[in-house]
Amino acid sequence: MQSTSTPTHCPYCALQCGMNLTPAQQGGVEVRDRTDFPVNRGALCGKGRTAPQVLSSRVRLTSPLVRAGDGTLAPATWDEALDRITGELTRIRAEHGADALGVFGGGGLTNEKAYALGKFARVVLGTSQIDYNGRFCMSSAAAAGIKAFGLDRGLPFPLEDIPRTGCVILVGSNPAETMPPALRYFTELRANGGTLIVVDPRRTRTAEQADLHLAPRPGTDLALALGLLHLVVAEGRTDEEYIQRRTSGWEEARAAAMAHWPEYVERITGVPVPQLREAVRLFCEPEHAMVLTARGPEQQSKGTDTVGAWINLCLATGRAGRPLSGYGCLTGQGNGQGGREHGQKADQLPGYRKLDDPAARAHVAGVWGVDPDSLPGPGRSAYELLDALGGDIRSLLLMGSNPVVSAPRAAHVEERLRSLEFLAVCDVVLSETAALADVVLPVTQWAEETGTTTNLEGRVLLRRRALTPPDGVRSDLEVMHGIAARLGVEKGFPTDPEEVFEELRRASAGGPADYSGITYRRLAEENGVFWPCPGGAEPGEGGALDAPGAGREEGGSPDAGAGLGEDASLDAPGADDPARDGDGGAGAHPHPGTPRLFLDGFATPDGRARFVPVTHRAAAEEPDDEYPVLLTTGRVVAQYQSGAQTRRVDELNAAAPSAFVELHPRLAVRLGTAEGDPVAVVSRRGRAVAPARITPHIRPDTVFMPFHWPGAGRANTLTNPALDPTSRMPEFKVCAVRLERA
Ligand code: SF4
């Protein structure tokens, strides 16, 4: 263990709060405030404060487990476990082809692991069948951002800009529960005279702090945004000069919005017209304003269009690509941003390149030392991949995910996992998914290994190793190295994270998410570096001139990279230094990174943001006589995602021990149920039972369940896997259910 304090970051959500880890008297490490990190300035939620408890949990895995002939999981040596994996993968590939081998990653994996996993799937296994649980997180916002701006970075500006804008509309986000230290940005906004509008069907702890709370019926955020845009036009609040100069496609988007007149929108959403008018007034009167979305509007079968409608509102009012104004997505998972950039997505190569782009394939294949034609094409999205298990996908290697709890239609996904010929899982504890595996590999955790993550602002951060891992565990990088070597790939899968990052820099050079100017040394010296941060592209390997935004008509030099802002361009000193010089252009004149995107132009071919004409449509499943109530799902402050880690912390379990069904008093009376009574929630996919929690802070037509728990109270037993046609996001946020007394 290090004898002194180690500055690092929390293992959980996308805020990636800074913390110091110091040796604890009783052994292990304890968390101390780290006030120099600007995002959280020392503040942490309970999850971050208690994170070290998972390191020494009594249920921590410290030996590989292999399923024996009697069906039980028994301890085994690493050689036995890795031999079993490679034997099964070799057999299945020989019998059914490489695409019979599935790989499933996670939005919590470091950039190095996500990068290595995508390369491992395509180079070692030769399979196209890889995706990850981040698909369930922010993929709709990513798709909408790329459509409108040509580039997806969750927040195109730092969080520190929020208190200085005039108004924020927070759509389907509850930071008071999901990332409490972020709440101060909104508190400071209001203290500075700005206003906060929260859109949520529940009066959450975040909504309680808002100047205006709009509570639409779940699944109607798209209509709500269109209704606001209609009023913006009707009241003459559009910014015509901005629309003409910086956007395209306005007439079609305007026509679509004008079909959503206020009374019609009130009927769809349940939000009264005066509240719509007040929201427009609050949003349009200040000079600057922002819209921030999270899972509420995004986790819908029309999530991409819904986010597109909110972006249209920003564009029509001139609130994008300008200082202190813009659209952003509050990403959820710890490395939800970096995890979607470097190749574990079904359609993607590192640097946010597209797998079906010949130039991208050639560039990355050059870095990997393989023939571009040997790289498989795009595969299936996360739910489609899980749904195909036991069909043409015969085996699965899973890292950093627990789909038995977190996937939609979870009982079906569990049944698909059980039907596999072979399942291998890497985890720190025996999660509900690991318990189904044929081989379980115990791996290191955040404080036991070094690696980078990219937080919700696009700020690349260095997590440092603070203590020695227990005997018997290995890192995910060591796992990939060991399997690759056994499958005859001796080189290209180093176990040193910095070595992996050096290769990632070269692979990302010239791509939309360009990390080539970032080094571990810089990350250790600076409080993170925002991408794109070019260090110079290698000639003939898809350099910066191929990047989106190159050759745009306005806003700076045609040499500029992807939507660079005022404080970053390829003209910056050091931009010509090749990434492979070991310093990434980070020597005498490093590229400063790009905290603010799009100020000079958007990352589209013509530099203009694109309006996308969208219209309201119903949820995939609307209430009917049999299933008359809407279910929406979400999180509570004391648990994180599937709870695989946080359910192992006594203090967090005491605060949030199990699932519940939140319902309005009128609904409770109709059902004849009292506080704490068990309630059965039944959808077309299954039945979940949990105690009633009765509150007036939810719409009477809606019930809410948090999704962190397995078993009888598993909310995802109920959720609908109807997919967004663009992002392939399942509709976690709305489905039809009926309630029964249990
Ligand atoms: Fe910060 Fe999120 Fe960790 Fe809480 S869970 S300490 S908000 S990074």
pLDDT tens figures, 352-391: 999 999 999 999 999 999 999 999 999 999 999 999 999 9
What's the gap in Å between 24 CA and the centre of ligand 1?
A: 21
Q: Domain check: are 96 and 174 in the same one?
A: no
Q: How many CB atoms lie within 10 A of CB 579?
A: 29
What's the gap in Å between 603 CA and the centre of ligand 1?
A: 31
pLDDT at 554 over 90: no
What's the gap in Å between 211 CA and the centre of ligand 1?
A: 25
Spell out a b/e string for 581-596, using b for 16 or more CB atoms within 10 Å of the CB, else e: eebbbbeeebbbbbbb
Q: How far apart are CA 122 and CA 117, in angstroms?
A: 9
* Nearest Cα to Cα of residue 340 among 132, 145, 528: 132
Read off the pLDDT of residues 46-62 as tens digits, 9 standing for 90 and up. 999 999 999 988 889 99
| Structure-block tokens of residue 453 | 């993550």
Best residue for ligand 1 mutational test, from 9, 54, 179 (most atoms within 8 Å of Cβ): 179
Q: Would residue 449 count as lying in a domain?
A: no
* Nearest Cα to Cα of residue 632 among 738, 741, 732, 740: 732
Element (H, E) at 482: helix 476-486
- Residue 457 is classified by DSSP as T
Q: Domain check: are 697 and 637 in the same one?
A: yes
Q: What are phi and psi of 142, to 5 degrees?
A: -60, -45
Q: How many CB atoms lie within 10 A of CB 490?
A: 9
Q: Please report the pLDDT score of residue 119 as a whole number.
A: 98
pLDDT at 575 over 70: no
Instruction: Give the lowest-confidence range in 402-406, 571-575, 689-693.
Output: 571-575
Helices (H), 302-451: 303-316, 358-368, 382-387, 403-406, 410-418
Find all residues with CB under 8 Å of 125, minimum gap 6, and list them. 89, 93, 98, 101, 103, 487
601, 605, 611, 615 alpha-carbon torsion, rounded to 10°: -150
Q: Would residue 684 count as lying in a domain?
A: yes
What's the gap in Å between 640 CA and the centre of ligand 1?
A: 9
What's the gap in Å between 186 CA and the centre of ligand 1?
A: 17
| Structure-block tokens of residue 460 | 């690349």
Q: Please report the pLDDT score of residue 57 as a whole number.
A: 86
Q: Domain check: are 312 and 171 in the same one?
A: yes
Q: Would residue 714 count as lying in a domain?
A: yes
* Nearest Cα to Cα of residue 498 among 398, 399, 582: 582
Spell out a b/e string for 354-379, using b for 16 or more CB atoms within 10 Å of the CB, else e: bbeeeebbbbbbbbbebeeeebbeeb
Nearest ligand 1 atom, CA 51: 3
Instruction: Please give the residue range of the domain that contains residue 313.
Output: 139-329
Do 686 and 411 form a contact (C-beta atoms < 8 A)?
yes
pLDDT at 557 over 90: no
Average pLDDT over residues 559-586: 37
What's the gap in Å between 45 CA and the centre of ligand 1?
A: 6
Find all residues with CB under 8 Å of 362, minimum gap 6, and list them. 372, 541, 542
What's the gap in Å between 60 CA and the centre of ligand 1?
A: 22
Q: Please report the pLDDT score of residue 440 as a whole number.
A: 98
Angle between helices 250-258 and 221-234 (to 10 degrees): 100
Say which amino acid occupies 289.
A
Q: Please report the pLDDT score of residue 3 as a whole number.
A: 60
pLDDT at 257 over 60: yes
Nearest ligand 1 atom, CA 180: 7
Q: Domain check: are 242 and 190 in the same one?
A: yes
What's the gap in Å between 17 CA and the centre of ligand 1?
A: 6
Nearest ligand 1 atom, CA 178: 7
Q: Please report the pLDDT score of residue 169 as a whole number.
A: 98
Best residue for ligand 1 mutational test, from 12, 461, 635 (most atoms within 8 Å of Cβ): 12
Nearest ligand 1 atom, CA 334: 8
Q: Take atom 3 of ligand 1 and give the residue whose Cα is closest.
A: 48
pLDDT at 71 over 80: yes
Q: Please report the pLDDT score of residue 332 as a whole number.
A: 86
Q: Domain check: are 312 and 353 in the same one?
A: no
Average pLDDT over residues 141-145: 96
Do 17 and 181 form a contact (C-beta atoms < 8 A)?
yes
Q: Take atom 1 of ligand 1 and give the residue whose Cα is closest.
A: 17
Q: Take atom 7 of ligand 1 and give the residue whose Cα is closest.
A: 179
Q: Domain check: are 146 and 228 in the same one?
A: yes
Average pLDDT over residues 667-678: 97
Of 329, 361, 390, which residue constitutes the final position of a domain?
329
Token pair 């976690």 in the structure block, residue: 732
Ligand 1 pocket, residues with Cβ under 6 angstroms: 10, 12-13, 15-17, 40, 44-45, 47-48, 179-181
Q: Would residue 406 count as lying in a domain?
A: yes
Q: Please report the pLDDT score of residue 4 as a whole number.
A: 86
Q: Domain check: are 252 and 397 in the same one?
A: no
Provide the CATH number for the domain around residue 482.
3.40.50.740
What's the gap in Å between 103 CA and the centre of ligand 1?
A: 28
Best residue for ligand 1 mutational test, from 13, 330, 637, 639 (most atoms within 8 Å of Cβ): 13
Q: Domain check: are 357 and 340 in the same one?
A: yes
Cis preceding-peptide flag for 532 (omega within 30 of 0): yes
Do 389 and 411 form a contact (C-beta atoms < 8 A)?
no
Nearest ligand 1 atom, CA 45: 4
Best residue for ligand 1 mutational test, from 8, 15, 457, 639 (most atoms within 8 Å of Cβ): 15
What's the gap in Å between 176 CA and the centre of ligand 1?
A: 11
Provide the CATH number for the domain around residue 706.
2.40.40.20
Side-chain half-sphere exposure of 367, counting CA atoms within 13 A: 31
Nearest ligand 1 atom, CA 179: 7
Q: Would residue 567 count as lying in a domain?
A: no
pLDDT at 576 over 80: no
Read off the pLDDT of residues 77-127 as tens digits, 9 standing for 90 and up. 999 999 999 999 999 999 999 999 999 999 999 999 999 999 999 999 999
pLDDT at 547 over 60: no
pLDDT at 17 over 50: yes
Q: Are strands 422-427 and 395-399 parallel, antiparallel or unpaired?
A: parallel
Q: How far apart are CA 550 and CA 563, in angstroms?
A: 8
Q: Domain check: are 218 and 270 in the same one?
A: yes
3-state secondary structure of 366: helix
Burial class (CB in 10 A: 0-12, 13-18, 19+), 184: middle
Say which amino acid occupies 653.
N
Nearest ligand 1 atom, CA 9: 8
Q: Take atom 4 of ligand 1 and give the residue whose Cα is closest.
A: 45
Nearest ligand 1 atom, CA 16: 8
What's the gap in Å between 11 CA and the centre of ligand 1?
A: 8
Q: Would residue 707 count as lying in a domain?
A: yes
Question: Domain total for the chain?
Answer: 3
Element (H, E) at 634: strand 629-634
Find all residues with CB under 8 Å of 281, minimum gap 6, and list them. none
What's the gap in Å between 360 CA and the centre of ligand 1?
A: 35
Spell out a b/e string for 101-138, using b for 16 or more CB atoms within 10 Å of the CB, else e: bbbbbbbbbbbbbbbbbbbbbbbbbbbbbbbbbbbbbb
Q: How far is CA 548 from CA 308, 319, 345, 512, 596, in A?
A: 19, 21, 20, 7, 16
Find all residues with CB under 8 Å of 640, minimum gap 6, and list them. 12, 13, 47, 646, 708
What's the gap in Å between 177 CA and the centre of ligand 1?
A: 10
Q: Please report the pLDDT score of residue 2 as a whole number.
A: 52
Q: Domain check: are 129 and 145 in the same one?
A: no
Of 288, 312, 329, which residue constitutes the final position of a domain?
329
Percent of the chain predicted with pLDDT > 70: 92
| Structure-block tokens of residue 366 | 């050059």
Q: 570: pLDDT confidence band, cut at 50, 70 and 90?
A: very low
What's the gap in Å between 534 CA and the centre of ligand 1?
A: 29
Residue 214 region, left (φ>0) first, then alpha (ψ -120 to 50), else beta?
beta
Best residue for ligand 1 mutational test, from 35, 47, 50, 639 (most atoms within 8 Å of Cβ): 47
What's the gap in Å between 52 CA and the centre of ligand 1?
A: 13
What's the gap in Å between 463 CA and the centre of ligand 1?
A: 14
Could you give the angle at the alpha carbon of 344 between the alpha carbons of 560 and 17, nearest 5°?
Answer: 75
Say which amino acid occupies 432.
E
pLDDT at 541 over 80: no
Nearest ligand 1 atom, CA 10: 3
3-state secondary structure of 402: coil
Nearest ligand 1 atom, CA 48: 6
Q: 692: pLDDT confidence band, cut at 50, 70 and 90?
A: very high
Nearest ligand 1 atom, CA 13: 2
Q: Would residue 152 count as lying in a domain?
A: yes
Q: Domain check: are 175 and 298 in the same one?
A: yes
pLDDT at 539 over 90: no
Residue 270 region, left (φ>0) first, then alpha (ψ -120 to 50), else beta?
left
pLDDT at 537 over 60: no
Q: Take atom 2 of ligand 1 and give the residue whose Cα is closest.
A: 13
Q: How far apart are CA 141 and CA 171, in angstroms?
A: 12
Nearest ligand 1 atom, CA 44: 6
Q: Are strands 439-442 and 422-427 parallel, antiparallel or unpaired?
A: parallel
Find all residues with CB under 8 Å of 179, minimum gap 6, and list them. 13, 14, 15, 45, 330
Q: Domain check: are 157 and 287 in the same one?
A: yes
Nearest ligand 1 atom, CA 19: 6
Say which amino acid occupies 328.
G
Average pLDDT value for the chain: 92
pLDDT at 330 over 70: yes
Strand-pair partners of 30: 22
What's the gap in Å between 15 CA and the centre of ligand 1?
A: 6
3-state secondary structure of 170: strand
Read off the pLDDT of residues 459-476 as tens digits, 9 standing for 90 and up. 999 999 999 999 999 999
Nearest ligand 1 atom, CA 40: 1
Read off the pLDDT of residues 607-666 as tens digits, 9 standing for 90 and up. 999 999 999 999 999 999 999 999 999 999 999 998 989 999 999 999 999 999 999 999
Q: 331: pLDDT confidence band, cut at 50, 70 and 90?
A: confident
Q: Would residue 169 count as lying in a domain?
A: yes
Report which of residues 567 and 700 the model is more confident about: 700
What's the gap in Å between 355 CA and the centre of ligand 1?
A: 33
Provide the CATH number for the domain around residue 305.
3.40.228.10
Of 329, 355, 375, which residue constitutes the final position of a domain?
329
